Structure 1
Amino acid sequence: MQYYEDIEIGDTREFGEYTVTADEIVEFAEQYDPQPFHTDADAAEESAFGELVASGWHTASMCMRLLVDGPIDDRASMGARGVDELRWKRPVKPGDTLTVRTEILDKRVSESDQKRGYVDTHVEGYNQDGDVVVSFIALGMIERREPEQ
C-alpha cells in the first residue's frame, strides 16, 4: 500500500488500456449527455465532428476507471477534493484505445486533519496515436502512514 509519505513530487506513471465502443458511447450519452453527435451516428456525420464521438464526461469517466484500476488501487486513497483545469483536448471515437499518464505536481499535509495529505496529480488521457484527449489536475486525499500527533 502506498501512503502519502511514499509519494514524491515529480513521480510519473503510465498505465491502463481501454478500447472504446460505439455502443457504450451511445449508451452513456443517452443517459447523461444526449446530444446528437454522441447518440446518433447518422446525425453525427452532419456535426462539426463528422462522426460519432464520446461525450467529454464519458472520456473523463473512462480515464477515472483507469486511475482506479491503476495507481488508486494500491494507494491509501481517502477520496478527492475535486479536479481543476479539466480540458477535453480531442474527440474520442469508437475504436480508440485510451491510456493514462500521471505526474505528481504537489503534496502537503492537511492543516485540519493530520491523518491525511493532499496530493495534486496532473492526469492526461491519450489515444493509441499518442494524442492527449483529456487532461485535468486530480486533487487527491491520501492517508498518512505516520500522522504527527
Structure 2
Amino acid sequence: MEQAIAVAAELKGLNAFTAVLADQANFAASDLEKRLDRGEELPLGGRTFAVKDLMGFDTLGAGVGIQLGALPMDESTLLGVAHAMETSRPPASSGEVGRAKASTPAPHMEAEYQHLRIGEHMQFGRSFEEFTVGETYAHWPGKTVTEYDDHLFCLLTMNHHPLHINSHYAQETSDFGQNVVVGNYVYSLLLGMSVPDISGKAIANLEIESLRHVAPTFHGDTLYGETTVLGKWESKSKDDRGVVHVETIGYNQDGKVVCIFRRKVMVPKENYLAARGGEQPARPVAQPDKNWSGGAQEPAPLTR
C-alpha cells in the first residue's frame, strides 16, 4: 500500500471516480458537494479524509498533483481511476480510412499511468526499449480549437487564405458555410499532443511519411489524438539508438477522424540516456542564495 498521489486532471471526473471506488465507500458523486459544504469527512477503505481534499477545485490545474489526505490506496485502484477517466474520451469513429486500430479501453493502460505512482515523475517520451509494436497511446488532454488559435497560427505563418480568416467569405462562397481551421495547425496540434508519449526523448524527427486531412475541423471543435507503433528497428550505425515508425490520428468530440499522419523518429536507448544524465539530462540544481537557503521553506509572515 502506498500513499496515493494522483494527477488532478484525472480526479475531476467525480462520477467515474465514484464508480471505481463504489465497493470501498458508501457515497454518491452527487453527495460530494453537499458533504464539502458541511465540512464533513468521507469514509473510504476504513479511513477518513476531508471531502475538500478530494474535490479541491480551487487548486486543481493541468498537471497539478493532489494528495488524498492520509488515504492509503493500492496501485490497482489508482489505475482503475485512470481507466475510468480514459473510457470517457470519445472513441474515434470506426471504419475511417487509415484507422490504425479501433478505439477501445487501451490494454496498455497500466503503462500509460505510471506517473500515478508516488516518487516517480510524469513520463515524457520513451526510450527505444519502451516502445512495443502494436501498442496505441491515447494522448491527454484534448484541445478545443478557437477562432483566435486559427487566426494567430495563420498570421504567424503568413497563410492569409480567406477560408481560414474571413468569416464572411467562408459563409458566402465555401462549401462549408463557415471558416475551416487551417490544416497545418491541426497537424501541429496533434504532433504536439504526441510528444509526451512518443518523441519527448527523441534524438531527431527523421521523416513525415504521409499526412492526410480526411475531414474539416471548425472553430469550437475539440481534438483528441492517439498514436500506434507500427514498427521499430535498431540503428545500423550506432548501438545507442533506434528508429520507431508511428501513425497518429486526430479526431473531434464526435469521434470523427480529421487527420492521419505517419512519421519516423530516432529515439535513444537506455544506455544513451544513462550516459547523459538519465531521465532529465542537463537539469541544473537550484542554488541557495539570500532568497532561498535550500530545502522546504516556511512562508514569510504577512506584514501590514
The answer, yes or no, to whether TM exceeds 0.5 is: yes
**132-141 vs 1-10, greater mean Cα deviation:** 1-10
Contact 1:78 1:143 in 2 (8 A): yes
Q: Counterpart of 1:128 in 2: which secondary structure?
A: coil
Could you tell me which amino acid in structure 1 is paired with residue 197 of structure 2?
P
Q: Match of 2:256?
A: 131
Whole-Å separation in 1 of the counterparts to 2:132 and 2:192: 23
Contact 1:37 1:49 in 2 (8 A): no
Could you tell me which amino acid in structure 1 is paired with residue 155 of structure 2?
E
Seen in structure 2, the aligned counterparts of structure 1 residues 76 and 28 have a Cα distance that, compared at 3 Å, is closer
Could you tell me which amino acid in structure 2 is paired with residue 13 of structure 1?
Y
**Pairing 1:8-19 to 2, within 5 Å after superposition:** 8-16=132-140, 17-19=142-144
**Which of 24, 31, 35 is the aligned partner of 2:161?**
35
Whole-Å separation in 2 of the counterparts to 1:79 and 1:41: 39
Q: Match of 1:100?
A: 225
**Pairing 1:16-95 to 2, within 5 Å after superposition:** 16=140, 17-32=142-157, 33-45=159-171, 46-68=173-195, 70-72=196-198, 75-95=200-220
| Root-mean-square deviation (Å) | 1.6
Cα offset, 1:79, TM superposition: 2.6
How many pairs align? 145
Unaligned runs of 5+ in 1: none
**Among the aligned pairs, what percent are the same residue?**
30
Q: Match of 2:127?
A: 3
Cα offset, 1:112, TM superposition: 2.1
Cα offset, 1:113, TM superposition: 2.2
Cα offset, 1:126, TM superposition: 0.7
Cα offset, 1:72, TM superposition: 3.8
**134-143 vs 23-32, greater mean Cα deviation:** 23-32
1:27-73 deviation digits (Å, cap 9, x = unpaired): 212332211101111111121222111111011011122112x3147
Seen in structure 2, the aligned counterparts of structure 1 residues 76 and 66 have a Cα distance that, compared at 3 Å, is same
Q: Please give the TM-score of this superposition, normalised by the length of structure 2.
A: 0.45
Contact 1:26 1:40 in 2 (8 A): no
User: Which structure's residues are more often strand, by fraction?
Assistant: 1
Cα offset, 1:105, TM superposition: 0.1
Q: Which has the larger radius of gyration?
A: 2
Unaligned runs of 5+ in 2: 1-122, 273-304
Contact 1:88 1:135 in 2 (8 A): yes
Whole-Å separation in 2 of the counterparts to 1:42 and 1:124: 31
Q: Which fold has the larger relative contact order, with Cα–Cα distance below 8 Å and residues 6 or more apart in sequence?
A: 1
Could you tell me which amino acid in structure 2 is paired with residue 49 of structure 1?
F
Contact 1:125 1:134 in 2 (8 A): yes
Q: Please give the TM-score of this superposition, normalised by the length of structure 1.
A: 0.90
Contact 2:210 2:262 in 1 (8 A): yes
1:73-129 deviation digits (Å, cap 9, x = unpaired): 7x5321310211100111111111011011000000111222210000110011111
